[in-house]
Amino acid sequence: MSADGEQANAFAASLAPVRNWLLLIGAVVGFTVFFTVDPYVGAALLLLLLFAQRPAGIELQFAFWRPGRWWPAFALYVPFVLVWVALATGYLRVAEAIGQPVAPQQALLQLANGEISPEFFWPMIVMVVVLAPIAEEILFRGYLFSALSASLSMWATQLVTATLFGLVHGLGHAIPIGVLSLLFGYLRQRYRSLWPSIMAHMVHNGLTVTLIVTWPGLLDLFYNL
């Protein structure tokens, strides 16, 4: 390679961190639109950004959707979530014991109490089960993960991403949601793709909503209401 070629590569490499942070800012804008303006518009903006300028370190092929590829991720999710439920339950009981009880997330409480009107029920399900996992994974396991991993170790990147992801879901839920985030981060890094973490996130939210709608008393049991 010529000296000019080496200099061009070095210059491109020096700009990579700047590119990662600029893309992260764009993702934050789309995420803000998702939660404050319109979830459909916000999700569309994030998907457009994803396919226009993918985060560093991942591929966008859809090969993961073949059963032979997604089954290992699902097989990992099942035992992980069983352990996670036990840890989350213990966390909620400890929080209650020290006088800092954690209230259920508002959307789950409304679903359990049947407070969602019929015309808003399915749009809410779509947002919680489909749109929110897409938006959150693109931001956190996509652009944030890529920006942090350029200067931090993989463990530090995982912990910072999980901490921020947990805090976005509320201070009371930060620890259990942060632990769940570690699984999504592992899937992202293991498969070098966002599709495994998006799918696991959708499955988790879908199972949670299904259980709450069909067994409302589970929320009382989980939170010891």
Segment 25-46 shows an average pLDDT of 96
- Mean pLDDT of the residues in the chain: 89
Distance of CA 214 to the CA centre of its chain: 24
Segment 103-132 shows an average pLDDT of 92
The tokens of 30 are what?
């789309």
- How far apart CA 18 and CA 102 sit, in angstroms, is 39
- How far apart CA 118 and CA 122 sit, in angstroms, is 8
Assess whether pLDDT exceeds 50 at residue 10: no
Segment 185-195 shows an average pLDDT of 92
pLDDT tens-digit profile of 137-172? 999 999 999 999 988 999 999 999 999 999 999 999
Of 10-19, 145-154, 202-211, which range is least confident? Answer: 10-19
- How far apart CA 128 and CA 151 sit, in angstroms, is 32
Q: Work out the pLDDT band at 225, boundaries 50, 70, 90.
A: confident
Assess whether pLDDT exceeds 70 at residue 60: yes
- Residue 193 β-bridge partners: 59
Number of domains within the chain: 1
Assess whether pLDDT exceeds 90 at residue 174: yes
Full residue range of the structural domain in which residue 137 is found: 3-223
Task: State what percent of residues in the chain have pLDDT above 90.
Answer: 69
pTM (2 decimals)?
A: 0.91
Give the list of residues 6+ apart from residue 70 with CB closer than 8 angstroms, or none.
Answer: 64, 195, 196, 199
The residue count for the chain: 225
Q: Closest by alpha carbon to 129, among 145, 113, 117, 111?
A: 111
Are 46 and 27 in contact, with CB atoms under 8 Å apart? yes
Q: Work out the pLDDT band at 9, boundaries 50, 70, 90.
A: very low
